[in-house]
């Protein structure tokens, strides 16, 4: 699905990623853990194509194409989805309207016909149930006046509608109480499939109790310094990140 090789990247002249390697295949769920400032959010932003990050060397190959050559919307059309750590509010823009424009842009890119309004409403109502999102949210402005938990649920709802091949969840668990976490994680689990991949970026092992990863990576100082299965997360919880750094 995606192969990242020796990725070096800077933000405002400061090197954040220092030779990162990662390979994710279809059907896999990866968790990337690490201390603050390790480069976790930088990685997801670079994959999604956000402005302000400069890749100085290395490569990202996605579905056998050079991902770094693609605009953010092309990446979206090709199935890259980012669930934002801090979803923005867009006043006056209807939640469903934004999604429909996104879905139709993707369909157009893939040479498919645009979805009609009635079919789309049926689809979103069905998908809203996955994260127990009240249908009233569909008609509201994007994230405007949503609570922290509602914003995160809205992200996973959008993921459900857009059906990405590669979903990046950037600290989706932060700011969630235990009930909201269960709902959001439940939504993500329902979207796991053998032809898509999920990469979760998180500080805490807590999320992994709900979404079980196939691989856990430790990202520290711009590199992945250890990879293991879900038991690695438990060891991290017990010993802290310094333990990995020391045993490197």
| Among the listed residues 183, 186, 188, the one whose alpha carbon sits nearest the alpha carbon of residue 170 | 188
Give the C-alpha separation, 181 to 111, whole Å.
37
Residue 182 binds other proteins, judged by CB under 8 A? no
Residue 87 binds other proteins, judged by CB under 8 A? yes
| Among the listed residues 78, 125, 75, the one whose alpha carbon sits nearest the alpha carbon of residue 99 | 125
9 vs 17, 67, 205, 225, CA distance in Å? 5, 15, 27, 17
Contacts of 94 (CB under 8 A, 6+ apart): 139, 140, 141, 142
Beta bridge partners of 62: 2, 65
Residue 121 binds other proteins, judged by CB under 8 A? no
Residue 72 binds other proteins, judged by CB under 8 A? yes
- Smaller CB separation from other proteins, 75 or 152: 75
- Smaller CB separation from other proteins, 157 or 241: 157
Q: How far is the CB of 75 from other proteins (least distance, A)?
A: 8
Taking CB atoms within 8 Å and a gap of at least 24, the contacts of 107-111 are: 109/74, 109/77, 110/77
Among 6, 25, 37, 50, binds other proteins (CB under 8 A): 50
Q: Are 172 and 200 in contact (CB under 8 A)?
A: yes
Range in contact with other proteins (rule: CB under 8 A) among 5-13, 80-88, 131-139, 198-206: 80-88
Beta strand 215-220 with 29-33 is: parallel
Residue 82 binds other proteins, judged by CB under 8 A? yes
Range in contact with other proteins (rule: CB under 8 A) among 1-9, 17-25, 101-109, 172-180: 101-109
Give the C-alpha separation, 35 to 181, whole Å.
21
Residue 106 binds other proteins, judged by CB under 8 A? yes
Q: How far is the CB of 84 from other proteins (least distance, A)?
A: 7
Range in contact with other proteins (rule: CB under 8 A) among 55-63, 90-98, 199-207, 223-231: 90-98
Among 62, 77, 146, 157, binds other proteins (CB under 8 A): 77
Residue 162 binds other proteins, judged by CB under 8 A? yes
Range in contact with other proteins (rule: CB under 8 A) among 26-34, 77-85, 130-138, 219-227: 77-85
To 10 degrees, what angle do helices 148-162 and 95-109 make? Answer: 30
**Binding-site ranges for other proteins (CB under 8 A):** 48-51, 71-73, 75-77, 81-82, 84, 87-88, 90-93, 97-99, 101-103, 105-106, 141-142, 158, 162
């Amino acid at each position: 699905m995606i192969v990242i090789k020796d990725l070096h990247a800077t933000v405002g002249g400061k090197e954040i990623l220092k030779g990162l390697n990662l390979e994710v295949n279809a059907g896999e769920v990866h968790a990337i853990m690490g201390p603050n400032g390790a480069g976790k959010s930088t990685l997801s932003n670079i994959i999604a194509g956000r402005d302000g990050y400069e890749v100085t060397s290395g490569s990202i190959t996605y579905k056998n194409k050079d991902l770094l050559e693609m605009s953010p919307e092309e990446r979206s059309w090709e199935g890259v989805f980012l669930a934002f750590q801090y979803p923005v509010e867009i006043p006056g823009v209807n939640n469903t309207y934004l999604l429909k424009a996104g879905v139709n842009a993707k369909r157009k890119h893939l040479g498919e016909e645009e979805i009609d309004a009635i079919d789309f409403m049926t689809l979103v109502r069905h998908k809203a149930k996955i994260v127990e999102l009240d249908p009233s949210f569909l008609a509201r402005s994007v994230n405007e006046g949503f609570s922290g938990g509602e914003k995160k649920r809205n992200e996973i709802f959008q993921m459900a509608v857009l059906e990405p091949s590669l979903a990046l969840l950037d600290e989706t668990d932060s700011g969630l109480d235990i009930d909201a976490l269960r709902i959001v994680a439940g939504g993500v689990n329902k979207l796991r499939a053998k032809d898509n991949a999920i990469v979760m970026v998180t500080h805490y092992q807590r999320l992994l109790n709900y979404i079980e990863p196939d691989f856990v990576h430790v990202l520290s100082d711009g590199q992945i310094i250890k990879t293991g299965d879900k038991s690695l997360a438990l060891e991290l919880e017990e010993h802290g990140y310094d333990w990995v750094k020391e045993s490197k």
